Amino acid sequence: MTALPSKADLRKAALDARDAMEAALRAAAGEKLAARGLPFEIAPGVIVSGYSPIRSELDPVPLMQKLAAHGARLALPAVLSRGRSLVFRAWAVGDRLTMGPLGIMEPSPAMAELIPDIMLVPLAAFDRLGHRIGYGAGHYDFTLAHLRKLKPVTAIGLAFAAQEIKAVPALAHDVALDYVLTEKKTFDFRSA
């Protein structure tokens, strides 16, 4: 009997596929997402958290700019420590960012902390059930579980179509996404 691939193997394969994409195609994907927008209307003042893209991640900034133009308040995550919820600090396009403890750009600790209504979530791989594979630290699973005890939070994965895999070996602590947006398609998992 053949062993199923591990999350680490699936993560590596999906990241290799993402890295193999031409930079121009990756940049165009961010613009396509922005042009398409979210699959639902947002109310003015809704808080949308994005992320500072690292490596070859899909850049959420064009989409975030569009959402801000429609009245959304923007935030970016900050890592405090492993095993703790991310915090989200107010951010606007053009604001200066500082290097966080994981080498990811974050808003200054002086910026107001916000609790997002909508989280744009980076990922390594996803399946058609809304499960995702992140980078292995569990920050987003932990944060979503924590924040959803406080209020409803819509989790939207942003990925390239090349990052879709047949099945994510989801565990009990893994938190499913509500949507995944790729440059080609919108996946809605709310009724899955």
| Residue in the structure block whose two tokens are 């062993």 | 3
Identify the pLDDT of residue 5: 84
Per-residue b or e along 1-26, where b marks 16 or more CB atoms closer than 10 Å to that residue's CB: eeeeeebeebbeebbebbeebeeeeb
Supply the mean pLDDT for the chain: 92
Question: What average pLDDT does range 172-178 have in this prediction?
Answer: 85
Confidence of residue 172 (pLDDT cuts 50, 70, 90): confident
Q: Is the pLDDT of residue 49 over 90?
A: yes
d(CA 101, CA 78): 9
Q: Is the pLDDT of residue 83 over 80?
A: no
Report, at the CATH architecture level, how domain 7-37+45-188 is classified: 3-Layer(aba) Sandwich (3.40)
Comparing 18-27, 40-49, 135-144, which segment has the lowest mean pLDDT? 135-144
Q: Is the pTM of this model over 0.85?
A: yes
